[in-house]
Amino acid sequence: MARASEHADRPLMVLGGAQVYALALAAGAEEQILTQVHLSPEGDTFYPHFDRAEWTETRREPHLDAEVPFEFVWLARLVPGDPAAGRGSAS
């Protein structure tokens, strides 16, 4: 994350774990591309909570006929570069 400022003129894609995603949200990530899987499996690792009210959906690509239904969801931060976002609760 520290080296991201060296490439501020290019998009940066973050591939997590949960802690890496949380750091990116706290650092002011301006976009998210989420995969919403229509299952509720047991597990102990989750995407970090973020305040959904601070984001707007810009695109949705459903794959509801897949063996495991899912959707790609694009979100954009309403106030780009706001590092306070990502510290709220999920909606």
Per-residue pLDDT of the chain (91 residues; tens, 9 = 90+): 566 667 677 888 888 889 999 999 998 899 999 999 999 989 888 899 999 999 999 999 999 999 999 999 999 999 876 666 445 444 4
Q: Tell me the C-alpha distance between 46 and 67, whole Å.
A: 22
Q: Tell me the C-alpha distance between 71 and 10, whole Å.
A: 26
Neighbouring C-alpha atoms within 13 Å toward the C-beta of 40: 0
User: Are 19 and 27 contacting, i.e. CB atoms less than 8 angstroms apart?
Assistant: no
Categorise residue 52: left if φ over 0, alpha if ψ from -120 to 50, beta otherwise. Answer: alpha
Strand 55-63 versus strand 31-37 pairing type: unpaired
DSSP 80: T
For the whole model, what pTM was predicted?
0.77
Q: Tell me the C-alpha distance between 62 and 36, whole Å.
A: 9
